[in-house]
Structure 1
Amino acid sequence: MMINSDNLCMSCMKDIGTEKQCPYCGFHADSKQIEPYLPIRTVLGNRYLVGKLLEYNGDGATYMGLDLSTRESVNIREFFPENIAQRDPKTLGVFVMPEKETIYNECLQSFTEMWRKLMRLSGLSALIKVRDILEGNGTCYAITENIDGITLREYLLRNNVGYISWEKARPLLMPVLSTLGTLHASGIIHRGISPSTLVVAPDGKIRITGFSISPVRSARSELKCQLYNGYAAFEQYGFEGRQGTWTDIYGFGAVLYRTLIGTDPIDATERVTNDRLMVPGKFAEQLPAYVINGLVNALQIMPEDRTRTVEELRAELSASPSAVAGTGVEYEPVVPVTVKKPVAQRIVDEEDEEDYTYNKREAAKKRHNRSSAVIAVCAIIIVLAIAFLVLWQTGVIKIDNDTTTTAAAETVEVPNFVGKPYSEIVDNTYNTKNFTFEKNEVYNSTVEEGYVISQSVDVNKKVPVGTTIRLEVSKGKESIVFPTGGIIGTKYEDAQKYLTRLGFKVEKSIKLNLDNEIPDTVQGFSLEEGVSYEKGTTVFLFVWSEPETTAPEEEPTSEDETTLDDIVDDTIDKIINFGRGN
């Protein structure tokens, strides 16, 4: 049985009757979908109703939706890589940009295959359920369950301290790790495991969401990339190292770090040159040694140093304290995550496997040598700094303040932000990583509040990473209140100037003056006092005309008087003369 959708909110799919604004989520019924995404109330496959756009990235968009046959809310994922494809606004079909056909077809095939695999795995407890796959309009749509939950990030922020204990984290996250293992066995690498893509469902269990094809989760690809700062592995940024199961291991390790420590890990690209990622002392004392060991190994920067498989990481996180104690490992109050493989473990490479045994005495010697080297380097730096200051003070060295040397900055292409919600733009990791935004809010009667009107840098222009882009954002329609009192009886010119300053457009309407009212003064107006109107609304002022002056009527003279008999006689004479031909 089909459902009547006229009274449904297109944001939460709840019945709101005749209300214009949803009492549950605040969405307004007259809100328009931003272009070039599917219009609200589009129906796909004669079954799925398209609602509000929820999010978009390099390979497509996700909409709120409704299954018209089951009456259940769903999410609709559309393959729509905006930078290599466009939409026909009349047919809503997706067509490929010139010379982009090959990459589009490859990505569409990857998208379709990934979601078909996920549909076959929908029985996994920690995985979002895929209900249907549709093909049409030159693209593909994946229909998934709509999880009425919160992200893991929100879940942790609702905790007073922002983190939870290992005892609580273990039953929450270990099913996610097991599901990751099954995904890997099916040839699916997520590449976006983060607190934003893990959703805590109403049953208290986590579901993995946020799937995208690999080019979206890799920098320097032909699609716009979406990498989560602190959770993306080093190899995803386009540097050396293939992606694989170990890429998700890094993301899971980063999620575990955020869950147990309460802060986001430092981005992998920063850690390469200055690794300051630590397990603070109070956590190192509370967490089991084997958990710290698993965390350290999962967060190794270089792929070859990192835990390679889910099975290996699960074994490390499930080890008993006595088993770890048998390895002879000692943990200091502050544990640097950069330590490479501090315990006996398997390092699984692509071609061979070797067992390495940790040697405490050798490690202590290396730490001592490393500390001595660091002290020596610091001493040299201090001496050189003092020498530089002395030479600078004496004028031997001069610094030219007008000369700056910068390394060749990496460039990125500026996306089209116009017509998109400002909140979604700044929530997008790719955007915030590559650009700095300045927000300028202005009133606008044609653009919905919160949406971008214009941008200071042209679309598709290549600019250095970190470039500042000024976005003009709509504050919606500006409202002004028609004043109470003070208008009637004033001169039209004074009232016009006053109302114009307030933002009204003023028109003059002349009122006939029969009672000797003061001419050119306001008698009334077309708007209601004390009521809010959109800025620019026209108000008609009714203004007294000049007083009317009329001459007294004159009585007709006897010569002007004409009787009915005179008129009849005159008419008869005319008829007779006409008959005679005169």
Structure 2
Amino acid sequence: MEQKRLCPYCMGELPPAADSCVHCGKVFAGRNPAGCLPVGTVLAGRYTVGEMRSLDGEGILYRGVENLGCFRVTIKEYLPVTLSAERGADCILQPKTGSEVLFKTTRMDFADLYRALERITPATGLEAVLDVVEANNTVYAVMENLGGTPLDQWLEAQGAPLRPDNACAMLQPVFEGVAAMHKIGLVHRGICPENLRVMADGRCRLAGYATVGLRTAGSGLREQLYEGYSAPEQYSTAEFEGRYTDEYGLAAVFYRMVCGQAPVPAAQRMVSDSNPRARTVNSAVPGYVSDVLQMGLRLKPMERIQTVPQLVQALASKEYTEELGRTMKPETPVGQPEEKAHLLSIKGLLAGILILLAILLVLMVWTMVSHSLPSASSGSVEPEPASSEVLEPQNLVPSFIGMDYAQVQNNREYTGMYLFYVTEEYSNTVPAGQIMTQEPAADTVLKAGETIRLVVSKGPQKVEMPSIIGFSQDAAVQTLQSRGLIASCFMVVNDGSYAAGCVVSASEPAGAQVDVGTVITVYIAADPSVEITTPPEEPAATEPTTTPADPETPAGGGDPAADPEQGTK
């Protein structure tokens, strides 16, 4: 039986083996450059390849059509230019001699990446991966045709910088999508205005997925880094990348949106950090937002804001930003490694001690000379009467920050010498029971009877998981957001038992106590006519506390739950 094939231009059905379209008249031959798949090629009996859109060091992006559902798609072919030999007329891709092992391992990385994305998309803010096809000795990722306007073009058309609250609203779906990627161990590494699309509703979605090799200098692939948006650790294979790498990209995009210009490229900043603060570029940026971006764009990964929820909460709360600034590791100046800074601090201490000894020596000599001089009135030295004043020893305040409060309570030396006033505050950055701040500061002279004020962390703030079963997707997302939770939505199979577009299950049961900022996986019933074939895996970091019920359970028999081994294309 002949496979159904559509014209990639007009989507009209083509006769078997046609090399041009009988509907629009387009001729397929010669449309794509040599080395690309010819226009009209069919993959997996389901997708017709169209014209090449772009090429990077990892592969080729084509326009395409899904023949069965008659809708447009984007197809990315794994074709690393540094590892691939010339392709013949049979379209089979072969590695260069000597590159066979690296070709195979990076091809596996490509397939694993897009299969993982296929399991979590469609998720809010992410371009959906619909299918992964192996053919021609390579791999093809089939994605939705996202549409929209690239953010860099949209910002150029705007002209003026955005207000921070408007930028937050536009990027909110992207924050949620990146957080969902991080929960299953994926890092995007290419977050920049070029890979963000502004949709018709004014909100952004993220595309431009790639393996670690494409987004890391010196990996063996022809790297694709984005000046101003790629993090410092991406410029060397010796540096480890993690969630904080995407956090740098998000902070850089936000900086561009509110300042009207991109940050200074990281490679340049590592030589001499001349990147201006956001408030210096645009005085309308609130001081705390400028501080957040400063912390998000730090060059050393361990000194940077670490997670997307931290970044989002800091951009929304001046108080949280101040707490984060108090608890984060201080930034090391560029060109002065931590070891060098530590050595300089020791040298400074030794210099101070030597100066103090010199002053004491001068004072001793002066005292001896003054006592040996004759009195101006009697010609002899009269001893001065001894002072009756007794100097009390000065008591310096110790440093309590970072200690467990239980250590202070159980230390008789502390409790016998000092009076404490203790308060507690929630913190997503400091473990429960640990001291966050103190007043007076360490090494301050403590006056008699003065109290030391300590603020002890209560750990992350907990909220009660609301009951959202039966809610529409928008209502569920808004309800979770109102409690400081992040929704990551998945479509699941629906045999008609559930109302289409409504929540059938969530990764946390109603009434459970969860941390503010937690990503909640929300399962939405698809339209019964939608074919669902791809089984998504539940993100490891968001395990349900109870086993979801069978999707066939009738409504009213407890909370209905969608099988997490089902997903949609």
1:285-322 CA deviation, whole Å, 9 max, x = no partner?
42233322221111001112111122222221221x35
What is aligned with 1:8? 10
- The separation in 1 between residues aligned to 2:99 and 2:89, in whole angstroms, is 22
Give the equivalent residue in structure 2 for 1:145.
144
Q: Which runs of 5+ in 2 are unaligned?
A: 13-20, 327-331, 337-401, 403-425, 443-569
Superposed, 1:116-195 pairs within 5 Å as 116-161=115-160, 163-195=161-193
Secondary structure of 2:270's match?
Answer: helix
What is residue 395 of structure 1 aligned with on the other side?
none
Deviation string 1:126-181 (CA, Å, 9 cap, x unpaired) is 000111111111111111001221111011111032x2111211111122112111
1:107 corresponds in structure 2 to: 106
Q: Which residue of 2 aligns with 1:221?
A: 219
Quote how far apart the aligned CAs of 1:87 are: 4.5
Alpha-carbon distance in 1 for matches of 2:100, 2:438: 53
2:247 pairs with 1:230: no
Using the TM superposition, give the Cα deviation of residue 327 of structure 1 relative to its aligned residue in structure 2, in angstroms: 8.9
SS of residue matched to 1:254: helix
TM-score for the superposition, normalised by structure 1:
0.53
Please, which of 249, 252, 256 is the counterpart of residue 251 of structure 1? 249
Q: CA separation of 1:167/1:283 partners in 2, compared to 1, >3 Å: closer, same or farther?
A: farther
Tell me the residue number matched to 1:48: 47
Query: 1:33, 1:327 → 2: CA distance?
Result: 52
Please name the residue that 2:68 is paired with: 69
Question: Where does residue 284 of structure 2 map in the other structure?
Answer: 286
The Cα of 1:18 is off from its aligned counterpart by 4.3
How far the C-alpha of 1:348 sits from its partner, in A, is 7.0
Is 1:346–1:354's contact at 8 Å kept on the other side of the alignment?
no
CA distance in 2, matches of 1:304, 1:157: 33
In the alignment, which residue of structure 1 is the partner of 2:295?
297
Residue 250 of structure 1 aligns to which amino acid in structure 2?
A: Y
Where does residue 315 of structure 1 map in the other structure? 313
Higher relative contact order (CA 8 A, sep 6+): 2
Query: What amino acid is aligned across from residue 53 of structure 2 in structure 1?
Result: L
| Aligned mate of 1:267, from 265, 268, 277 | 265
SS in 2 for 1:216: coil
Deviations 1:171-222 (A, max 9, x none): 1112211211110111110111000011112333211111110011110111
More strand by share: 1
Distance 2:438 2:265 in 1: 28
Matched pairs, number: 339
Return structure 1 stretches of 4+ with deviation > 6 angstroms: 325-329, 344-349, 351-356, 358-362
> 1:234·1:269 contact (CA, 8 Å) conserved in 2?
yes
In the alignment, residue 310 of structure 2 is paired with which amino acid? E
Checking the alignment, whether the CA contact within 8 Å between 1:278 and 1:337 is kept in structure 2 is: no
Q: Which amino acid aligns with 1:5?
A: C
Offset of residue 359 of structure 1: 9.7
Aligned to 1:531: none
Q: What is the 5 A alignment of 1:22-101? A: 32-101=31-100
Instruction: Report how far residue 121 of structure 1 moved.
Output: 1.0
Contact 1:347/1:354, CA 8 A, preserved across alignment: no
Partners of 1:337 and 1:271 in 2: how far apart?
A: 11
The letter for the 2-side match of 1:148 is G
SS in 2 for 1:86: coil
Structure 1 unpaired stretches of 5+:
21-27, 330-335, 363-582
Alpha-carbon separation, structure 1, partners of 2:333 and 2:156: 24
- Aligned amino acid, residue 50 of structure 2: G
Partner SS for 1:140: strand
Kept in 2, the 8 Å contact 1:300–1:337? The answer is: no
Cα RMSD of the aligned pairs, angstroms, is 3.7
Contact 1:133 1:141 in 2 (8 A): yes
Distance 1:223 1:178 in 2: 30
Aligned-pair identity (%): 28
Aligned partners of 1:347 and 1:355 also within 8 Å? no
Kept in 2: contact 1:132–1:142 (CA 8 A): yes
How far apart are the structure 1 equivalents of 2:207 and 2:175? 14
Aligned residue type for 1:33 = N
Could you report, residue by residue, the CA deviation over 1:54-113 in whole angstroms, capped at 9, with x for unpaired residues?
112121111000111111110001111121113532210111112212111111111111
| Cα distance in 1 for residues equivalent to 2:75 and 2:323 | 51
